[in-house]
């Protein structure tokens, strides 16, 4: 179960969608997670799965090019989108593929 220390890492993120996993998921790093709303994410870390078709809540943070330069010391020409997913009872970092 998620607790406050885990949820503190989503401060600054916005909940943008809720969906269900479409198909089977092992929860391994690099695995593609297809959702029933058409979104696809790649797991940036391992995520133990306890449910066969878990619900997913998608959190997104948009970092402007200026913020990226300041925070990450990198030059970006477009906004940077960061994602965290709550999958079942797990909070994981992920990259949006589609």
Burial class from Cβ neighbours inside 10 Å (0-12, 13-18, 19+) for residue 41 reads buried
Mean pLDDT of 10-21: 94
pLDDT at 71: 75
Check pLDDT > 70 for residue 25: yes
pLDDT at 23: 82
pLDDT at 30: 93
Model pLDDT for residues 41-86, shown as the tens digit of each residue: 999 998 876 566 688 999 999 988 888 788 777 777 888 899 999 9
Nearest to 19 by CA among 48, 51, 56: 56
pLDDT at 51: 60
């Amino acid at each position: 179960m998620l607790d406050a220390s885990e949820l503190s890492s989503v401060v600054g993120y916005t909940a943008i969608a809720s969906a269900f996993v479409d198909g089977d998921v092992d929860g391994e790093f690099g695995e593609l997670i297809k959702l029933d709303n058409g979104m696809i994410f790649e797991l940036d870390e391992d995520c133990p799965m306890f449910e066969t078709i878990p619900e997913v809540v998608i959190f997104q943070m948009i970092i402007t090019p200026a913020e990226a330069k300041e925070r990450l010391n990198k030059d970006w020409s477009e906004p940077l989108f960061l994602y965290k997913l709550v999958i079942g009872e797990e909070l994981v970092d992920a990259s949006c593929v589609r």
